[in-house]
Amino acid sequence: MGFDDYGGQLKHHVSAHPRVDRKTGELFAFAYSSEKPEVYLSVFDQKRQLLSSITIPVVCPRMLHDFQITEHYAIVPDLPAEMLPEKSIRENKFIVDYNKEGTTRYGIIDRYSQDPTSIKWFETSTHYVFHYANSWEETNENGETVVVVHGCKYDVIDIEISPDVEKQTLQDIKNGKETPSDLVRYNFNMTTSESSEEILIKGFGGEFPIVNQDFIGYQNRWVYMPYDDFSRTDDSREAMENRFFSCMMKYDLQEKKIVAQVPFGENCTTGEVFFQ
């Protein structure tokens, strides 16, 4: 374990979720800046050689936790969780502030491009996504390429740092400061520049969607997600330290239906899951 800059080729830090295309063996390293309105994407081949590196401008310094790839594209979210140090100091709040009226968009660019002006932007309704499930390309009835993105979307988030963060999250959901997540599908038409949003599951409180890693960037069927049924009523410290997500779900992205749901039982929970 330790820091790896790929022999000095990697010039920026890396977000929590780099992507590996197992069909090509390529690694995609993505990062955002807390100081500058830009994000970074570097691509390495299976021999650890740098193929491309690009800096892409965004609206302002933003916390952009995750990103996506497809067979031919990289997908850059530009979502309104804004890094505002002056406001944070002035109001004694966490540095990340969710702007409910902020520009929300996705940039799609050839995954080896080194020209930031070649990115195509698609604006959407205001929302935030911490974690995406998978993305791929489809061809519609008109022969147009449509980039499909799946993720757990929030209409409102309230990011705070506190010792009772889990209790606060439940209270925020109850009083409307934060909304339970939706499983969502976005469609971005690369020819017409049109986009659409489809809610697959409304307000189910799921997170960390994961797929078989062999299909990252390519069409797949199953996604697995822990979720919370918000049924717990015990607010004691012991209960807080022994909870996160209370159930597990398997969802069919092709048939657009829930296949299985597994409750873990009283005081049994899980956190982030992974499919190797």
Q: In this predicted structure, what is the pLDDT of residue 237?
A: 55
State the pLDDT confidence band at 165, using cuts at 50, 70 and 90.
Answer: very low
pLDDT at 162 over 90: no
pLDDT of residue 176 exceeding 60: no
Q: What is the mean pLDDT of the chain?
A: 88
User: Do 173 and 180 meet the contact criterion of CB atoms below 8 Å apart?
Assistant: yes
Read off the pLDDT of residues 240-254 as tens digits, 9 standing for 90 and up.
555 578 899 999 999
CA distance 38 to 58: 5
Measured CA to CA, the distance from residue 149 to residue 118 in angstroms comes to 20
119-147, pLDDT tens digit by residue?
999 999 999 999 999 999 999 999 999 99
The pLDDT value recorded for residue 245 is 85
Domain presence at residue 256? no
pLDDT band at 239 (very low <50, low <70, confident <90, very high): low
> In the predicted model, is pLDDT for residue 163 greater than 70?
no
Does residue 94 sit within a domain?
yes
Nearest to 217 by CA among 85, 43, 96: 43
CA-only gyration radius of the chain, Å: 19
- The CA–CA distances, whole Å, from 213 to 22, 29, 102, 219 equal 8, 16, 33, 11
Does 247 fall in a domain? no
Domain assignment present for 239? no
Max mean pLDDT among 4-8, 161-165, 221-225, 245-249 falls in 221-225
> Does 65 count as an annotated binding residue?
yes
Q: How many domains does the chain have?
A: 1
Structure tokens at 184: 């969502």
Share of residues in the chain with pLDDT > 70 (%): 87
Is residue 237 included in any domain, yes or no?
no
The answer to whether residue 105 is domain-embedded is yes
* Residue 4 lies inside a defined structural domain of this protein: no
Domain assignment present for 65:
yes
Range of the domain at 198: 19-130+145-208
What single letter denotes the amino acid at residue 236? S
Q: Is 150 annotated as a binding residue?
A: no
Q: Chain centroid to CA 232: how far?
A: 26
Both tokens of 130, joined, read 């911490």
The model's pTM: 0.88
